[in-house]
Amino acid sequence: MKVGFNVNALKTVVQKWKDMNAILRILIGLVIGLALGLLFPNMPVIGLLGSIFVGSLKGIAPILVFVLIMSSLANSSTGIGARFRTVIFLYMVSTFVASIVAVFTSYLFPVTMKLTGEAADQAAPAGVGEVWTNLLNNMVTNPVSALANANYIGILFWAVLFGLALKAIGSEKTNTIIAEIADMINKVVTWIILLAPFGVMGLVFNAVSENGLAIFTVYGKLVASLVGSMLFVTLVTDPFIASLFLKRNPYPLTWTALKESGLTAFFTRSSAANIPVNMATCEKLGLEKDFYSVSIPLGATINMDGAAAVITIMSLSVAKTMGIEVSIPTAIALSFLSTLAACGASGVAGGSLLLIPMACSFFGISNDVAMQAVEVGFIIGVIQDSVETALNSSGDVVFSATAEYYARRKKGEDMRFLGEYAKKKKDAPAEG
């Protein structure tokens, strides 16, 4: 009788936890992690929760992406090609615009940095050509190796090929089984995401216990420039781009993406780990699985607004520090370079920071000097990388939703926007 009571009580607690607003749960975890980091910095077991959470997401994400893409393509209906063209266009335009915003931020609020110490030992790519060579090599790597090493370029490539092959020759029974496997993996992911507040608690604990609150004031001007430009992209330029396709107020979508995707991405600091979260967010938005299961991993690869902003601002800061005058046309050319480089950032170890020397070479700055800027980047990475990941990840959701809503609107189909309503074509003119 006692055991039964305990089981029922546990079920009640779990159900109340599940019913609680997800944002509230994460905020509770954030506050507790901050407090524990200040009060008990020498208790690494607390931080272990963050490592386990991120590790579990990183562990399941490659399999999830591979199976979902393959299943979606194998079971997809015709007519999704236009949506993919739209979402790729949106990804590329937003990344370029982010770089332009970073250019103007650098001109309006010029920042210099103290470049001292030895250059880092990590090897940066020599140019855009090397970035894209690495990317193409990663694409055709062994599919098993791609899964084992979380090589999302390779995973995306092989999943698309296998999915198209299954669509061509696979039986209905086979495709149904693969779809059920995808649903099974997705279910596991939902269980992991339920533990996000504990993971966030551990991640915040690690950041505060290792660096203290002082980390948030180091290189304050540079951090403000980076964060300010990325917030402007998140809240102004990306919504504006989306509005051109949606023909309505984009901010409900933007806010939803930030709450559901950006917040989690901020603390995990991993676009790969946030792919399952974005998948779940797209499902809540009423998007079709055969589309978002491909567009989200694709966005994690080429939608790099934050990376483009970081590359541009950091390289221009180095140029300013070195006394190099950069003209507007040269800065615009740098934006094109940053856009191309950022799109391949996921294929470069170290992400956007290691692409800074490549951009600096555009101004004739030596690798040794530029790598010192990379060191600065790692110092402020606890903030810069978090905001960058949040921008990139939430943008994947915004533009995936925009592409699908745009396609539905063009066809005059019933459109579900944020789950708020479904309007028939005849009611559309009355919609404000």
Residue 215 is predicted with a pLDDT of: 53
Contact 38, 181 (CB under 8 A): no
Rounded to 5 degrees, φ, ψ at 415 are: -120, 125
Residue 351 is predicted with a pLDDT of: 57
Task: For residue 104, give the H/E element and its range.
Answer: helix 81-108
Residue 326 is predicted with a pLDDT of: 75
Torsion of CA 283, 285, 289, 290, to 10 degrees: -160
Q: Which residues of the chain have pLDDT under 50?
A: 1-4, 117-124, 347-350, 420-432
Residue 113 is predicted with a pLDDT of: 74
Task: State the distance between the two ends of the chain, measured CA to CA, in whole angstroms.
Answer: 59
Alpha carbons 220 and 214: distance in angstroms, whole number: 10
- Among residues 186, 192, 242, which one has the least CA distance to residue 72? 186
Q: Which of helix, strand or coil describes residue 69?
A: helix
Residue type, position 66, single letter? F
Residue 114 is predicted with a pLDDT of: 67
Residue 381 is predicted with a pLDDT of: 66
Alpha carbons 413 and 76: distance in angstroms, whole number: 18
Residue 398 is predicted with a pLDDT of: 92
- The answer to whether the predicted template modeling score (pTM) of the entire model surpasses 0.75 is no
Alpha carbons 379 and 343: distance in angstroms, whole number: 24
Distances (CA, A) of 270 to 2, 194, 245, 387: 44, 18, 28, 11
Tokens at residue 82, please? Answer: 């236009």
Residue 429 is predicted with a pLDDT of: 43
Q: What is the CATH architecture assignment of 2-413?
A: Orthogonal Bundle (1.10)
* Burial class, 48, CB count within 10 angstroms (exposed 0-12 / middle 13-18 / buried 19+): middle
Q: At which residue do the structure tokens 């009640």 appear?
A: 12
Residue 422 is predicted with a pLDDT of: 32
Alpha carbons 313 and 104: distance in angstroms, whole number: 9
Domain boundaries, the chain: 2-413
Other CB atoms within 10 A of residue 6 CB: 10
Contact 241, 97 (CB under 8 A): yes
Residue 276 is predicted with a pLDDT of: 84
Q: Where are the alpha helices (DSSP H) in 109-219?
A: 128-139, 143-148, 152-169, 172-193, 196-211
Alpha carbons 383 and 391: distance in angstroms, whole number: 12
Other CB atoms within 10 A of residue 297 CB: 28
Alpha carbons 171 and 111: distance in angstroms, whole number: 60
